[in-house]
Chain A
């Protein structure tokens, strides 16, 4: 475990975090635009309250400031892997229902899916750095199978809204998580919250 807190590892972590924060910022902007376009296309109110949708990882978290760096990365990674599967399903549904009729929306969905995949990969890199070794078990655990498909068209639309809305929240949370992770800490894996607890 000697390399974990070396200057090289710390610099690598800061660099990866900085790039991740930029990725998250771009992703959020694109997701917000997509959310508005999606809601309009589906005839939904983007600001309407939507109950938690099964299979969509909620960004909401308690005691966020008390999480360790590793916890943050693991939760983020699990979320973005789930979003990757959900967005892939949404894209497939979109193509089945609309084909080329709304190519712009399809392209926007595909672009966000690409960013989510890239971000998940970025998180894996960070986790490897934090774990200070070869790929651990937690990184292999991803494939639980595709998420269950909603039965009806309306349920599909609602789920899509829920997916994009939570993804936008996650993008903000991820930037915050990475800033916490980028802070110099006495040991990797320890809590990196603010000095005073809320």
Chain B
């Protein structure tokens, strides 16, 4: 018979060699390697203060005949800590999903069970194939004031734990970020950038459930963002860009009426249109291309895609101005 046993990290483990007497001569191996006799008490294998590294296949052989008398797979791990559970609706009003993970690994298999209750009704959360730690629910009712209660229980051979989330329908609505953000210079306009984007493809009905958007932008050389909130449309023209400076731009989305802002979209870069130089000496060209601040005489670049931005908190409503700071920073560049 092949046995399996689960033991906690730090425990002392005693393995008996099946039905062999205590004073029988035996040899223990782990993963094909003989175990030193110092770990034996008679025919018993004694493992003190076990660690995860000692997990493995253990065999016990009769001393002279090398008949296999006992085998077991030892898994050393920990009982589960309280799991981390998150529920969100990125496809309102169709439904919502919940996803979870353990804050620390247990090193042994864990089993998750999720229950969703709405009032007195138990709802089925259908497990996703990928990722495994996620399930989704279709809304049966909309506009309900009754809260949802989601309980996630995690069990393994060494223990169990659980966590509960309670929320109402509107609170968990959070769209995915806008997609296909594009920023382009506007010909003959050295202070403008045209930005356009699309609704996230996961949002099923933007006509009935319109999104509003939050755009933030700044020149790469400055840390302060400027913000614009847009109640409709999927484009905006920035009209106060600094001539010749490369900008980073991101967009976030929120249902017009409920829920929270999405994460920021993938960041895009763009530089406003600049006039082509008519006459340049060779020396001036070399100076321009080696200068870190550059771009006064560069042709307008195309949009570049860069790293994903940070999660957005609550959005500001108006355009932010820090004129004094900006002007000071701008002046420094041209000293």
Residues of chain A having any CB pair with chain B under 8 Å: 25, 28, 49-50, 58-62, 64-65, 165-166, 169-170, 172-173, 175-176, 179-180, 183, 194, 196, 198
B interface residues, how many (CB within 8 angstroms): 22
State which of A65, A172, A198 has its C-beta within 8 Å of the C-beta of B258. A172
A173 touches B145 (CB 8 A): no
**A189 CB, nearest partner CB in chain B, Å:** 18
State which of A28, A65, A169, A194 has its C-beta within 8 Å of the C-beta of B145. A169
B141 touches A62 (CB 8 A): yes
Which parts of B189-232 form the interface with A (CB within 8 Å)?
204-205, 207-210
State which of B95, B139, B208 has its C-beta within 8 Å of the C-beta of A176. B208
Chain A residues positioned under 8 Å from B141 (CB to CB): 60-62
Nearest A residue to B138, CB-CB: A198
Tell me if B272 counts as interface (CB < 8 A to partner A). Answer: no
A61 touches B138 (CB 8 A): no
Nearest B residue to A192, CB-CB: B208
State which of A64, A183, A194 has its C-beta within 8 Å of the C-beta of B143. A64
Chain B residues positioned under 8 Å from A59 (CB to CB): 143-145
**B116 CB, nearest partner CB in chain A, Å:** 16
Nearest B residue to A50, CB-CB: B145
Tell me if B81 counts as interface (CB < 8 A to partner A). Answer: no
A165 touches B208 (CB 8 A): no
CA–CA, A180 to B209, complex, Å?
9
Tell me if B69 counts as interface (CB < 8 A to partner A). Answer: no
Chain A residues positioned under 8 Å from B258 (CB to CB): 172
Residues of chain B having any CB pair with chain A under 8 Å: 93-95, 138-147, 170, 204-205, 207-210, 257-258
B143 touches A60 (CB 8 A): yes
B139 touches A194 (CB 8 A): no
A196 touches B257 (CB 8 A): no
**A50 CB, nearest partner CB in chain B, Å:** 8
**B110 CB, nearest partner CB in chain A, Å:** 32
B204 touches A196 (CB 8 A): yes
13 further contact pairs, Cβ within 8 A, besides A183-B207, A198-B95: A58-B145, A59-B143, A60-B141, A60-B145, A64-B143, A65-B93, A169-B143, A173-B142, A179-B207, A179-B208, A179-B209, A183-B208, A198-B138
A194 touches B170 (CB 8 A): no
- Please classify the interface of chain A as helix (H, G, I), strand (E, B), loop, or mixed, using the class held by over half of its residues: helix
CA–CA, A145 to B204, complex, Å?
42
Nearest A residue to B208, CB-CB: A179
CA–CA, A137 to B209, complex, Å?
32
A25 touches B143 (CB 8 A): no
State which of B94, B138, B146, B170 has its C-beta within 8 Å of the C-beta of A172. B170
CA–CA, A25 to B210, complex, Å?
13
Chain B residues positioned under 8 Å from A176 (CB to CB): 143, 208-209, 257
Chain B residues positioned under 8 Å from A50 (CB to CB): 145
B145 touches A198 (CB 8 A): no
Chain A residues positioned under 8 Å from B208 (CB to CB): 176, 179-180, 183, 194
CA–CA, A138 to B40, complex, Å?
89
Chain B residues positioned under 8 Å from A60 (CB to CB): 141-146
Report if A61-B207 is in contact (Cβ < 8 Å); known contacts: A172-B170, A175-B257, A198-B138. no
B207 touches A28 (CB 8 A): no
Chain A residues positioned under 8 Å from B204 (CB to CB): 194, 196, 198
Question: Would you give 19 A-B contacts (Cβ < 8 Å), ordered by A?
Answer: A25-B257, A28-B257, A50-B145, A58-B144, A59-B145, A60-B143, A60-B146, A61-B141, A62-B141, A64-B142, A169-B143, A169-B144, A173-B142, A173-B143, A175-B257, A179-B208, A179-B210, A194-B208, A198-B93
